Structure 1
Amino acid sequence: MFDEQRSCQFEPPAAVGDTAPLRAFAEEHREALIHAAELLAGRRGERLALEVSDALAGAPPLTRRDMQQLNALLDILALENVDDLDSEECARFALIDPASPIVEEICLLTDGLRDAIDRTDLDHPSAARFSAAA
């Protein structure tokens, strides 16, 4: 019974805390995210997209603040705040021609970001809070 040699090396599961899908999407679409956020929310949107991109490019884990900013960026892209007539987002959205190709690009970008979030491991403590808020 004790004569067997066994490996005692512990290998944590790779899937726990895996934010690779979200990080890959953010890296691949960094410029588009920044441009779309600026178009829809001005300097605030641009700054937010930069901060989210930088957080996703950094070392894991994502912080609670990172996840809140990601949620805010998704809100901008999904036009969640354009019904507030006093917001900059409402004014900027009103200036966009619905027939412009940028509209479809923003929709595809938003869908891609949502998909990347869905494919990201939500067992991550911060990601779980984000999922509950979304």
Structure 2
Amino acid sequence: MLRTLPTNLSTDPQRAAVSRHLAQHGEALRNAASLLQGQPGEVRVLRIMSDLRTTTKLKLATRRCLVDLHRLLSLDPLFGDPETDAGPWQFLDPGSREVEDICLLADGLFALLVETGKLDDKMDVFALAVHDQDAAWTRPRPTFKRHEDTAMKYFEHLSLEEFWTRTLQEIDSFHAQTERTEEELSATERNTLLQSIARLRHDGPLADGAEDLVSRIEALLVEAVDRETLGYRGVFDGHNDPDHGAFGTVRAVPILSEQGCVLEGLLQGFRMIAAMRALLSARVDAHRQMALLKAA
């Protein structure tokens, strides 16, 4: 049984907020962390509580530990097995009470991090001060795949020349968007990205080196988004059957900083271009093969 943390020994509002939260949810957090990661998970919670007992101010190291604990509860793949890619959630029943409790604890801890962030004049990265995005996270967002499928059906009705023109226009638009990312990307990343896009536009989406350019651009954007990922939250993806219970899985949904959201938009936009390029390649190949069949 965890001892109750005193909350009235410090005038630091951030430490007081964390102490109150741990006093109320410390036992449940310890049990959840232990379920997901065993003894190392339990030690995470005990370390935070120990730090709170020995200091009168919320230390940066303690805030790091809180963020790591949130990532664990949010089923961050970082805490999986690097050899098997098995996450701590793999053996949990998505419809179980334990998973529901873990999701509630993750939401509560996220709210705590936002609260401490509002008290932080510097609003640093560990504050998770991204409250304007809360509404977007609490409701399902249309998946990129669904948007891509809808767009592909529209593109199928375009002639080959019209579709090729549309692909080039999308590349031009993406280049213009990238030029406006002075805050989200470093100068080196931005220049590399702009040069790769310009070459893809100049040589054409089906040129010999286009595949390498596409892979390079996507890898750069994925790395940039990962850098701006503050944690993960578990989201149940499925449905509840009245007779048989819940069917589905728990997905780890990234929590992004404000800059991360901009980069994620760029990444999804470029993935649309990559999908258009793949369809364009297939249509060109089909046109060529049909011409050969007719000539035979």
Check whether TM > 0.5.
yes
Contact 2:74 2:106 in 1 (8 A): yes
Contact 2:34 2:41 in 1 (8 A): yes
Please state if 1:115 is matched with 2:124.
no
1:18 alignment counterpart: 13
1:64 alignment counterpart: 60
Structure with larger RCO (C-alpha < 8 A, sep 6+): 1
1:5 alignment counterpart: none
Q: Deviations over 1:53-109 (max 9, x none)?
A: 222344321222211111111110111126845379935321111111011111111
Deviation at 1:29, TM superposition (A): 0.5
Please state if 1:54 is matched with 2:54.
no
Other structure's SS at 2:114 match: helix
Please tell me the root mean square deviation across aligned C-alpha atoms, in Å. Answer: 2.8
Other structure's SS at 2:57 match: coil
Percent of aligned positions that are identical:
29
1:100 alignment counterpart: 96
The runs of at least 4 aligned residues of structure 1 exceeding 4 Å deviation read 82-85
Contact 1:52 1:66 in 2 (8 A): yes
Unaligned runs of 5+ in 2: 1-10, 129-227, 231-296
Distance, in Å, in 1 between the alignment partners of 2:57 and 2:85 is 30
TM-score (norm 1): 0.72
Query: Of residues 29, 48, 51 in structure 2, which corresponds to 1:33?
Result: 29
Distance, in Å, in 1 between the alignment partners of 2:45 and 2:85 is 15
CA radius of gyration, larger in: 2
Contact 1:40 1:89 in 2 (8 A): no
Deviation at 1:17, TM superposition (A): 4.5
Cα pair distance change 1:23/1:83, threshold 3 Å: closer
Contact 2:80 2:88 in 1 (8 A): no
Unaligned runs of 5+ in 1: 1-15
1:73 alignment counterpart: 69
Deviation at 1:47, TM superposition (A): 0.5
Alignment length (residue pairs):
117
Contact 2:77 2:87 in 1 (8 A): no
Other structure's SS at 1:109 match: helix
Q: Deviations over 1:18-74 (max 9, x none)?
A: 112222111110110101111111111111111112223443212222111111111
Query: Higher mean Cα deviation, 81-90 or 60-69?
Result: 81-90
Amino acid at match of 2:67: N
